[in-house]
Amino acid sequence: MKRKGSLAIALICIFVGVLIILQMKTVDQLGGTVDSERAGDLAAEVKALENKNDELNNQLKDLEKQLANYESDAAGTDDVIKKKQQELEKERVLAGVTDVTGSGLVITIDTDSTDYDASLYSKSSDLLLSLVNELNAAGAEAISINGERLINTSEIRQAGSYININRNKYGAPFEVKVIGNPQDLSAAIKMRAGVVDVMQSNKLKVSISQEDNVLVKAYSGVIDLKYATPASGSGADE
């Protein structure tokens, strides 16, 4: 659009300039045959054309300035939109509704016994909760257990010979995937008398692998809020 406007004004300026030159040549060619009154008229026309040319040049400068302002405003709007999109994507990650990848740990937890032991599963659910808490405290950004993405409404509780996670039943082994700083996460759960030591003392086998590309899938359930609604006037700027 800028090119079309500039080209049109430039053509007008060229046209006006040609008229000025033609007028001046006409005066020169007529020389003494043109009376003083006609010469005065021609001079006035030339002057008017020169003024018009200056006016068009000024208009061109104003239009270029306006266009520059529009482009600057548009660039600012694009930056705001990009920032909002980044904030939204971050919120989606924190809410657990999008797949995420990154460095972290893959933790496998299994039992030493094949016999059903209700107390063992009871301890396992409690220890899984403790594990999740320790990982979150160490800066975990996303966690899944047997493919179930943990969100703020996720439950981990014993249900007979199974453990319920996001209303689905699972038995051992449990595969915990977590994204975060691998060294911090590993140190938090492997400290002396920490959650891994307690698991092993309760007949659970634990293996921990640090990986560069851990995939944690999005939460696949339905998030149904019956009571919570956004507070009036709440927003990111408050």
pLDDT of 137: 96
Tell whether 232 is covered by a domain. Answer: no
pLDDT digits (tens, 9 = 90+) for 188-219: 999 999 999 999 988 889 999 999 999 999 99
Report pLDDT for 79. 76
Q: Does the pLDDT at position 40 exceed 80?
A: no
In the prediction, which pLDDT does 62 show?
Answer: 80
- The DSSP call for residue 189 is H
* Closest by Cα among 190, 215, 172, 89 to 135: 190
Please give the residue range of the domain that contains residue 151: 100-216
Q: How confident is the model at residue 128 (pLDDT cuts 50, 70, 90)?
A: very high
- Provide the whole-model pTM: 0.64
Q: In this model, does residue 120 exceed pLDDT 80?
A: no
Paired sense of beta strands 204-216 and 142-145, if any: unpaired
**DSSP H/E element including 210:** strand 204-216
- Quick check: 138 and 187 in contact, CB under 8 A? yes
What domain count does the chain have?
Answer: 2
- Give me the mean pLDDT over the 128-149 stretch: 96
Answer yes or no: do 86 and 105 share one domain.
no
Query: Same structural domain for residues 66 and 157?
Result: no
For residue 222, the model assigns a pLDDT of 83
104 and 211: one domain? yes
Q: How confident is the model at residue 230 (pLDDT cuts 50, 70, 90)?
A: confident
Whether 66 maps to a domain, the answer reads yes
pLDDT band at 236 (very low <50, low <70, confident <90, very high): very low
> How high is the pLDDT of residue 4?
52
